[in-house]
Amino acid sequence: MIYLDNAATSKFKPRCMFDAMFCRLSDSANPGRGGHNDSLDCAIMVNDARATLKTLFGADDDYHIVFTSGCTEALNLAIFGYLADNIGGNVVTTVFEHNSVLRPLNNLLQRNVIDGIRYVSPSDPSQCVSAEDVAKYVDGNTRLIAVNHVSNVTGATADIERIGELANSMNIPLLVDGAQSLGHKRLNVGKNKISMLAAAGHKGLHGSQGAGFLIFRKDMKVRPIRFGGTGTFSDSLIQPEDAPEGLESGTMNTAGVIGLGAAAQWTYDNFDKINSHIGYLASQALYGLSKIDGITVYTKTLSGVISFNVNGVDSSEVADYLNDNEIAVRNGLHCAPLAHRFLGTEKQGTVRMSIGYNNNAYHVSRTLDVLEKFCKLPRP
């Protein structure tokens, strides 16, 4: 199988991630749940992973990091946890958001916790959401700006640096969905004035599924969304709210988070190699797609996330044909319905090929050949 679905989860994982996970799984203990040496050793490794991830993303002592099951939980924690104390007012977000931002926000709107959601569309043909685009929607009642860094539909990339400056100048917290950008972009939460950064471990950071994190400023109150054992204040019937423990109730995915620390470090140690490889293959793919009659391409970046359609054909039909030819892509709406409203592809969806470190030039040229054949098939 030629795997071109790396935006769903990366196929390639570095050896150091398996070693770290194997080591933990074959010598399990529960961190923060005992005073014995095995538990303490494990807690030290979890804290090393926290320190590694904080350093990689420029989070100094002003920031907390909380481990989550993935980016969905990180975004839910950021949105429900922060807006719990900031009711009323509006939230400014973008048309490129994933349902893991759109659904929590709309749940808050339905329950009248917030008064409105404003969706920013990019004004530039590059599809880059700029600070100027965001500024048009922000006012004195804006409680939060939530921006997807790299779209999981088209790879459109928001100008986080300037949006961070805008948010900071207006004293409004900025939440960044880094699900598709981490590992592919260098982000520094301090310098980029990001108040909360939500991450998936299993995509560009090359970790396992089931581990992600939220980095957030210590001066922001983020309430727990999960209640239970924290290993702290066990005599109290009231949930402790101190980060990280108060926001990480329950036994954590210890092997996953320690593996994520190792995988993310490996990724940033090899950042240029990985991303120039992906950029090269993305330009090969975009050039090839532009030469095939009957294909519309929606992507404007070299991020490796490429959405396209065969004109007049449902995206599922194209993906099925590619699958029959041993090529794995994703079709449909990619859990980002407003992006499709923006692109005009609500009905058809798009075919998404997403390139990763596992891919090579043959994978791209073979996919282009199969697509060319598909486009030439007789149709009623």
Instruction: Pick the binder of ligand PMP from 179, 264, 278, 286 (CB under 6 A).
Output: 179
- Tokens read off for 276: 């120039």
Q: How many Cβ atoms from other residues are within 10 Å of residue 232's Cβ?
A: 11
Round to whole Å and give the CA distance between 104 and 118: 14
Min dist. Cβ of residue 366 to ligand PMP (A): 25
Closest CB to ligand PMP among residues 185, 366: 185
HSE of 142 in the Cβ direction (CA atoms, 13 Å)?
25
Q: How many Cβ atoms from other residues are within 10 Å of residue 350's Cβ?
A: 27
Min dist. Cβ of residue 70 to ligand PMP (A): 3
CA distances from 104 to 78, 211, 217, 262, 335 (A): 10, 20, 21, 31, 13
Instruction: Pick the binder of ligand PMP from 10, 76, 100, 307 (CB under 6 A).
Output: 100
Min dist. Cβ of residue 312 to ligand PMP (A): 27
- Tokens read off for 16: 């150091």
Min dist. Cβ of residue 177 to ligand PMP (A): 5
State yes or no: residue 54 binds ligand PMP (CB under 6 A).
no
- DSSP per-residue letters across 331-354: EE-TT-HHHHHHHT-TTT-EEEEE
Convert 111-149 into a string of H (helix), E (strand) and C (coil).
CCCCCEEEEECCCCCCCCCCHHHHHCCCCCCEEEEEEEC
State yes or no: residue 71 binds ligand PMP (CB under 6 A).
yes
State yes or no: residue 303 binds ligand PMP (CB under 6 A).
no
Q: How many residues bind ligand PMP (CB under 6 A)?
A: 13
Min dist. Cβ of residue 97 to ligand PMP (A): 7
Widest distance between CA atoms in the chain: 72
Round to whole Å and give the CA distance between 228 and 251: 10
State yes or no: residue 264 binds ligand PMP (CB under 6 A).
no
Min dist. Cβ of residue 26 to ligand PMP (A): 26
Min dist. Cβ of residue 185 to ligand PMP (A): 13
Closest CB to ligand PMP among residues 119, 375: 119
State yes or no: residue 207 binds ligand PMP (CB under 6 A).
no
Closest CB to ligand PMP among residues 32, 201: 201
Cβ contact 259:211 at 8 Å: yes
- Tokens read off for 116: 């409105």
Closest CB to ligand PMP among residues 67, 321: 67
Tokens 């709406």 map to which residue?
333
State yes or no: residue 244 binds ligand PMP (CB under 6 A).
no
Which part of the chain contacts ligand PMP (CB under 6 A), choosing from 40-48, 79-87, 172-180, 266-274? 172-180
Instruction: Pick the binder of ligand PMP from 180, 254, 299, 350 (CB under 6 A).
Output: 180
Name residues contacting ligand PMP, limited to 123-152 (CB under 6 A): 148, 152
Strand order in the sheet with 350-354: 295-297, 305-310, 350-354, 330-332
Name residues contacting ligand PMP, limited to 317-356 (CB under 6 A): 335
Burial 205-224 (b: 16+ CB within 10 A, else e): bbbbebbbbbbbbeebebeb
Which part of the chain contacts ligand PMP (CB under 6 A), choosing from 70-78, 82-90, 225-233, 255-263? 70-78
Name residues contacting ligand PMP, limited to 185-204 (CB under 6 A): 200
In the complex, the residues that contact ligand PMP under the rule CB under 6 A are 70-72, 98, 100, 148, 152, 177, 179-180, 200, 212, 335
